[in-house]
Structure 1
Amino acid sequence: MFLSRITPWSRSAEQPSLAGFDAARRYFASHFSRTDPARERLFVAYLDASARCLHLARHEGDAAGIDWPLRSILLEGARRGCAGLIVAHNHPSGDSTPSAADLSATRRLATAGDAIGLTLVDHLLFAGDECASFRRMGLL
């Protein structure tokens, strides 16, 4: 799958705070609004200890899904010395119900992240106008 990285601010600019569900939802919704809703995408926000976004990565999928690059997500977080991360992806189908693959990838990412001191703060799933939070659903 194609992988591109987005860094919408410079080091000298203020990094956006993603503390709390509403702030994270608004932040990721603004990025999804600039993409083709017929393709699945995965955004990863790498956070400092104050939940400020230090870096944003985007991973491209297609209409059928996306391969989660778990190893590269964790390596990038460790390389940047991040305290945590928030992942967000979309379902082009419009159904915000997490799939078995979503649940598995989230569990694997959270477990591996914990082992290296990188907390998976939340996984947001966007489907049309809906946004589901794995944390709020008790899945994290």
Structure 2
Amino acid sequence: MENKQKILILGAKGNLGQQLIKVFLFKKKYKVIAWDKNDLDITNKNKVNKKIVQLNPDIIINTAAYNAVDACEKNKKQFELAKEINGYAVGYIAKVAEEIGAIFVHYSTNYVFDGRNKNGYSQIQLITMVRVNC
């Protein structure tokens, strides 16, 4: 039996997460583990560390995001939740990925870069904000 790469997809019940699950399952060369917020609260640093270290995936793909922009603009609690999910949690996941030597892929808003670079963007590239949301 061949050794399949283990891929952890976070945000598995969202639109992007569901599509990525289909793509990787179709390829049949990956073992896909799909978690949503009921499987792992990504805002809990200790749980993120413990569960991901225990799973020890080769690749972590984070598609989880807070995207209720209108709610977060009007409500301080929602704004804080957006910061937790879209900010701090991403850092927790990135740190554990580095610790276990996993590749980390994070999807973010399309409003951080203007989209003019046809070759994509790196994590150290200066942003060209089109719009600022929570």
Indicate the TM-score class for this superposition, using the shorter chain for normalisation. 0.3 to 0.5
Q: By percentage of residues, which structure has more helix?
A: 2
Instruction: Indicate the structure (1 or 2) with the bigger Cα radius of gyration.
Output: 2
Q: TM-score, normalised by structure 2?
A: 0.41
Q: TM-score, normalised by structure 1?
A: 0.40
Q: By percentage of residues, which structure has more strand?
A: 1
